[in-house]
Structure 1
Amino acid sequence: MRPILYHKLGNFELWFLSDGELWLDGGSMFGIVPRPLWSKLAIPDEQNRVRLGLNPLLIRARNHLVLIETGIDRKADEKFRRIYGLSDTNPLLGQLALLGVEPQDISLVVHTHLHFDHAGLNTRWVEGRLRPTFPKARHIVQKQELEDALHPHERSQASYRLENVEPLLEEGCFEVVEGEAEILPGLQVLPAPGHTLGMQVVELASEGQNLAYTGDLVALSAQAPLLYIPAFDLYPMTSLQTRKRLYERWLEGRYLLCFTHEPGHPLGRLMRTEKGYQAEPVYL
């Protein structure tokens, strides 16, 4: 597991955390891109899986501690953990502890979407009951995403786990937004449909500096080319249009990007080259 990265972006303090890794089918991660091309960028194992990181982001914003995403669900059975190559322990809580942060210190959790590998630590077992892991936090999510998580269809039901959603709903932890919304000064969410209809990206802006947390719009830096859209995206043509819109914004604003599933260094910037869009790593 990589070390915790620290960065100061204007008035924000940022810690780029790790919740370990998972393994997913490489062909599914790169959609219509042929294996001879994508396998040069992400080396598959004997099961054709590629290694993905899990990169939650901790933000200190004035009097708030904000967590972007809660990592993967490790409450499931051994078969589930074996399929995705998961460890039994949840490193996110350990990384927070290293920073002196307890779950009750988190005042806001922002979800790009509610799939099991992004909202898995929303809940944990406490005295035989599933309870919110971050009991004092408001959980920010798009209204469409919450509705889809509660009522998934045949194509999406494997990606949502009600045990990560219903306990928070019962205790009134969710705060739903519709469209663009400023959560705190300089911290906003923007709709980014395609992977799911209700997915959002998170942006920070302070003292002329910008950062975007990409969610699964661009989960890996290797997916930066426009057509490197995963087969996991429910609405790939919508993903394409969203990428075109946000890529222009991120290029113009010289955004630092945090790639949600990058297995190594999670930070980069978008470039427009003769061969199309690419991402270059940024080392702070």
Structure 2
Amino acid sequence: MRSPLHLKLGELELFVLNDGEIWLDGGSTFGVVPRVIWSKLTQPDEQNRIRLSMNPLLVRIAGQWVLVETGIDRKPGFKHRELYRLSEENPLLAQLALLGVRPEDIAWVINTHLHFDHAGLNTRWQGGRLLPTFPKARYVVQQQELEDAIHPHERSRASYLPENIEPVLEAGLFEVVEGETELLPGLRLLPVPGHTLGMQAVELESEGRRLAFTADLIPTLMQTPLLYIMAFDLYPMTTLETRKKMYARWLEGDYLLCFTHEPGHPLGRLIQTERGYRAEPVPGLDSRPSS
């Protein structure tokens, strides 16, 4: 498992964490792109699953710890873990501990959306009860996303697990926002609909340097081309239009991108050529906290 990646973004301290691997069906992950094409980018296992990662982002900003995404839900048990080739435990809390960060130190949890592989450690079993993992945090989510998670339709129901949502609701810890929002100075939330209608990306800026956490708008470096849209996206044509808008913004602003499911190096930059968009990894970043 990858150790936390450390970088400085102006005055901001960032750590790209890892909550292990998830193996998803390759055809579903690449949507309408044929296997003869996507299999040149990644090799599937015997069940046609490809290896992806969960890459939450930890940010130190204005003296507060902000956690973007909480990894995957392992609470449903063995069959669930076997289906996605998950490890038995969530590595996320151990990675936070390596950095000297306790769950109660987290001031903000940003849920890009509430699918089980992005909000899985919103809660955990404590004393025989499911309770919020980060008891002093505000869990920030778009109004549209929370409404859709509480009242899912037939196609989205399997991705929204009540165990990751209801204990946070009962504790009154959700911080609901609508549309583009500056949560903290230098930290902005932007709606990026398509995968779900209420998904949001996170933008960070300090001293002229910028980073965007792309959520499932661009899950991996491999899926940067405009038409490499997952079959899991509920509104694929909305994803396409959102990609066009955000790619132009992130390219013009010279944003470093952090990819939520990239199994290799999780940071990259957009490049536009005559053949369309692609992304290249940004290597050489420090993997240790600064002293």
TM class by smaller structure: over 0.9
**Aligned-partner SS, 2:219:** coil
**Secondary structure in structure 2 of the residue aligned to 1:251:** helix
Q: Using the alignment, how far apart are the partners of 2:42 and 2:153 within structure 1?
A: 30
Equivalent-residue separation in structure 1 for 2:62 and 2:196 (angstroms): 32
Tell me the residue number matched to 2:42.
Answer: 42
1:220 paired residue number: 220
Query: Whole-Å Cα distance in 2 between the matches of residues 106 and 169 of structure 1?
Result: 18
Does structure 1 residue 197 correspond to structure 2 residue 185? no
Alpha-carbon distance, 1:211 to partner: 0.3
Q: Kindly provide the amino acid, as one letter, of the partner of residue 132 in structure 2.
A: P
1:120 is aligned to 2:120: yes
Q: How far off is 1:112 after superposition?
A: 0.7
Which residue in the other structure is 2:288 paired with? Answer: none
- Separation of aligned partners in 2, 1:191 and 1:132: 25
Is 1:92 the counterpart of 2:111? The answer is no
Whether 2:152 is the aligned partner of 1:156: answer no
The secondary structure found in structure 1 opposite 2:60 is strand
Instruction: Give 3-state SS (helix, strand or coil) of 1:27's partner.
Output: helix
Residue 250 of structure 1 pairs with residue 250 of structure 2: yes
Alignment of 1:227-238 (within 5 A): 227-238=227-238
Report how far residue 128 of structure 1 moved: 1.0
2:174 maps to a residue whose letter is: F
**Structure-2 separation of matches of 1:83 and 1:137:** 31
Show the 5 A alignment for 1:137-176. 137-176=137-176
Measure, in 2, the Cα distance between the counterparts of 1:63 and 1:271. Answer: 34
Query: Which letter does structure 2 place at the counterpart of 1:33?
Result: V
- The match for 2:71 is 71
Unpaired runs of at least 5, structure 2: 286-291
The one-character-per-residue Cα deviations of 1:163-203 (angstroms, maximum 9, x if unpaired) are: 00000001110000000000100101000000000000000
Where does residue 187 of structure 2 map in the other structure?
A: 187
Q: CA deviation at 1:43?
A: 1.0
Amino acid in the other structure paired with 1:210: R
- Aligned partner of 2:289 in structure 1 is none
Give the residue type in structure 2 aligned to 1:85: R
Find the aligned partners of 1:197 and 1:181 in 2 and give their Cα distance. Answer: 16
> Matched residue of 1:246: which SS?
helix
Q: In the alignment, which residue of structure 2 is the partner of 1:208?
A: 208
Aligned residues: 284
Distance 1:159 1:99 in 2: 30
Shift of residue 3, structure 1, vs aligned partner: 1.7
1:264 aligned onto 2:264: yes
Shift of 1:264: 1.3
Q: Can you give the 5+ residue segments of structure 1 that lack an aligned partner in the other structure?
A: none
- Residue by residue, what CA displacement relative to the aligned partner does 1:44-97 show, whole Å, maximum 9, x if unpaired? 111000000000000000211000000000111210100000011110000000
Q: What's the RMSD between the two structures over aligned residues?
A: 0.5
Partner amino acid, structure 1, of 2:210? N
Displacement of 1:225 in angstroms is 0.3
- Cα deviation, 1:89-119, whole Å, max 9, x if unaligned, reads 1100000000011100000000110000000
Partners of 2:159 and 2:181 in 1: CA distance? 25
> Secondary structure, in 3 states, of the residue corresponding to 2:24?
strand
Structure 1 residue ranges (4+ consecutive) displaced by more than 4 angstroms after TM superposition:
none
Q: Which residue is equivalent to 1:107? A: 107
The answer to whether structure 1 residue 278 and structure 2 residue 278 are counterparts is yes
Per the alignment, residue 24 of structure 1 pairs with 24
Q: Give TM-score, length-normalised by structure 2.
A: 0.97
CA drift at 1:16: 0.6
Q: What is the CA distance between 1:159 and its match in structure 2?
A: 0.5
**How far apart, in 2, do the equivalents of 1:248 and 1:206 lie?**
20
- Specify the SS of the correspondent of 1:216: helix
1:241 counterpart = 2:246? no
Contact 1:2 1:264 in 2 (8 A): no
1:61 has 2:61 as partner: yes
SS of the residue corresponding to residue 215 of structure 2 reads coil
Q: So what's the TM-score if we normalise by structure 1? A: 0.99
